[in-house]
């Protein structure tokens, strides 16, 4: 998709479809909505006034109103997209509105649209243009990759109209950043969408290496011999049941002139298919377990964006990729595995395997330790780790855990830019008793309650004193149904926040 920024008045833009975002500006308790178009000029509102006055369109979130041959405009169609109450307007609502406009246009055969970046009090120009760009690019992704009758409905051009009041430099930066981040998110979504037979750990490593070459960063992909050499017993135990070799993916971004300071470690779970192992999953929805590498895809996609955005901070990404399958060689409940030693004079932790379907925390444990050995001073990991996080938070918020308030503060700052939704859950020391083992140091699962917390507590054992943030994205990485602004299938959630977390250390 080609994204362009223009500063022409909306009335002068020739386009098959001009999209303008609208809010309900009525005061609280008002009997009827007061629709206000955020176009930066009066022409779209004049064109739509007759329909707006009849009260049918209320500017509710993602509500649409289409006008053909709007008077006074050069556009063939005017689409008004509601954002909800003006008092609750955020860049995330703008992102959804732009996505709604694009997904409205695609099935109608339109390949070019123009979207007016909304001018409203409290909205930053750069962030607003970025939100429009991200919303449009993200909305262009569809998951029907292998359908023989698939029609090419990709949008060719999106023009973002910046109102005259917008600072040109800020708007241009917003467009550029939005396109980079959203394209990287779609890149991650495309990998998450791949079936397990078409995205093995080896192929995931190849994709990472190709991306690194394209954008000029370092990448090494190691196999089972290196994993054994590093004594990554936790990671290796997950690989035993599969004939597909594992891949230890390491990507490094080291900008010239980066000041001495933090080295950020990004660690991703890369389980390209998860059967549960001997603790096998139910057959229903097991096909979706191709998405169990969403955390790893988020990290590879984040490095793709970081390489282009060029923050002045060193970043290391570690993705532990494997299948979790069943065979005569697979690990068993009751086995004890030894994790990677944290240092030359310290033994690796002994882990009692209670459930082979709790494999994500095993690969992350060694990934976290290795990132620290490579020099990471601050850590963030992402994984489709537990179904329990959906029980706790539903499918609207991801779970976030942290052992350090300053590192978590960087993440909350990142959310203000990314617009993604995460809710902090505890990792207090009292929870550690749940994962104590009678035969080993720790177990890989706890009791019935607090499953997402138990998994986080397990990972905390390996982060130790290193500032660490853990994202459990199991509930938010896949849309079972399409939404007005995004297709069904993989979401790429977490990537935007990870990128902004990294950039916050640069600034």
- Rounded to 10 deg, the angle between the 495-506 and 168-193 helix axes is 130
Q: Is 349 a catalytic residue?
A: no
Q: How many CB atoms lie within 10 A of CB 310?
A: 12
Eight-state DSSP code of residue 27: P
Extract the tokens encoding 106: 């695609």
The span from the CA of 172 to the CA of 178, in Å, is: 10
DSSP H/E element including 203: helix 201-215
User: C-alpha angle with apex 321: 373 to 407, nearest 5 degrees?
Assistant: 45
Inter-residue contact 348 to 223 (CB < 8 Å): no
Which of 130, 361, 372, 460 is catalytic? The answer is 361
Q: What's the N-to-C CA distance of the chain in angstroms?
A: 30
Distance of CA 299 to the CA centre of its chain: 9
User: C-alpha angle with apex 57: 163 to 90, nearest 5 degrees?
Assistant: 45
Q: Is 361 a catalytic residue?
A: yes
In this structure, the chain runs to a length of: 507
Q: Is 430 helix (H, G, I), strand (E, B) or coil?
A: helix
The span from the CA of 124 to the CA of 295, in Å, is: 30
Which of 281, 288, 416, 432 is catalytic? The answer is 281
The span from the CA of 12 to the CA of 26, in Å, is: 30
Sign of CA dihedral 483, 484, 487, 492: negative
Extract the tokens encoding 493: 């959630």
Closest CA relative to residue 161, chosen from 318, 363, 5? 5
The span from the CA of 241 to the CA of 330, in Å, is: 4
Q: Tell me which residues are annotated as active site.
A: 281, 361
């Amino acid at each position: 998709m080609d994204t362009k920024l223009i500063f022409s008045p909306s009335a002068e833009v020739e386009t098959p479809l001009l999209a303008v975002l609208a809010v309900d500006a009525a005061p609280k308790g008002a009997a009827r909505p007061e629709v206000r178009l955020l176009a930066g000029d009066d022409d779209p509102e004049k064109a739509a006034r007759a329909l707006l006055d009849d009260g049918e369109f209320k500017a509710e979130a993602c509500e649409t109103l289409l006008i053909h041959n709007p008077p006074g405009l050069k556009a063939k169609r005017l689409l008004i997209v509601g954002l909800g109450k003006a008092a609750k307007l955020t860049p995330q609502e703008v992102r959804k509105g732009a996505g709604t406009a694009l997904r409205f246009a695609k099935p109608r055969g339109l390949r070019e649209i123009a979207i007016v970046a909304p001018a409203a009090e409290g909205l930053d120009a750069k962030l607003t243009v970025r939100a429009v760009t991200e919303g449009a690019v993200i909305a262009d992704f569809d998951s029907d990759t292998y359908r023989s009758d698939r029609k090419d409905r990709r949008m060719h051009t999106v023009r973002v109209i910046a109102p005259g009041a917008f600072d040109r430099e800020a708007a241009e930066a917003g467009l550029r950043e939005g396109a980079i981040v959203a394209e990287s998110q779609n890149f991650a979504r495309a990998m998450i969408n791949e079936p397990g037979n078409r995205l093995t750990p080896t192929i995931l490593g190849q994709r990472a290496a190709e991306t690194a070459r394209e954008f000029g960063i370092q990448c090494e992909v190691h196999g089972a011999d290196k994993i054994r050499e590093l004594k990554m017993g936790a990671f290796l135990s997950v690989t035993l049941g599969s004939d597909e070799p594992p891949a230890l993916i390491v990507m490094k971004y080291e900008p010239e002139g980066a000041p001495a300071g933090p080295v950020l470690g990004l660690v991703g779970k890369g389980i390209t298919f998860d059967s549960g192992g001997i603790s096998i999953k139910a057959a229903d929805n097991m096909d979706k377990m191709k998405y169990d590498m969403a955390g790893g895809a988020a990290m590879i996609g984040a490095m793709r964006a970081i390489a282009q955005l060029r923050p002045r901070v060193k970043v290391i990404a570690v993705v532990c990729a494997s299948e979790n399958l069943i065979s005569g060689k697979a690990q068993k409940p009751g086995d004890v595995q030894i994790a990677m030693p944290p240092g030359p004079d310290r033994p690796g932790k002994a882990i009692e395997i209670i459930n082979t379907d709790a494999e994500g925390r095993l690969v992350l444990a060694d990934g976290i330790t290795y990132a620290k050995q490579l020099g990471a001073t601050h850590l963030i990991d992402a994984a489709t780790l537990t179904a329990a996080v959906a029980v706790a938070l539903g499918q609207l918020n991801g779970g976030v855990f942290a052992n350090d308030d300053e590192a978590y503060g960087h993440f909350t700052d990142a959310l203000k830019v990314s617009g993604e939704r995460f809710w902090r859950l505890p990792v207090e020391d009292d929870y550690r008793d749940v994962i104590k083992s009678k035969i080993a140091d720790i177990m890989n699962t706890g009791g019935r309650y607090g499953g997402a917390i138990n998994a986080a507590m397990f990972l905390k054992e390996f982060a130790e004193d290193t500032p660490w943030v853990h994202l459990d994205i199991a509930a938010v990485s896949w849309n079972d149904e399409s939404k007005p602004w995004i297709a069904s299938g993989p979401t790429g959630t977490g990537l935007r926040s990870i990128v902004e977390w990294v950039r916050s250390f640069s600034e």
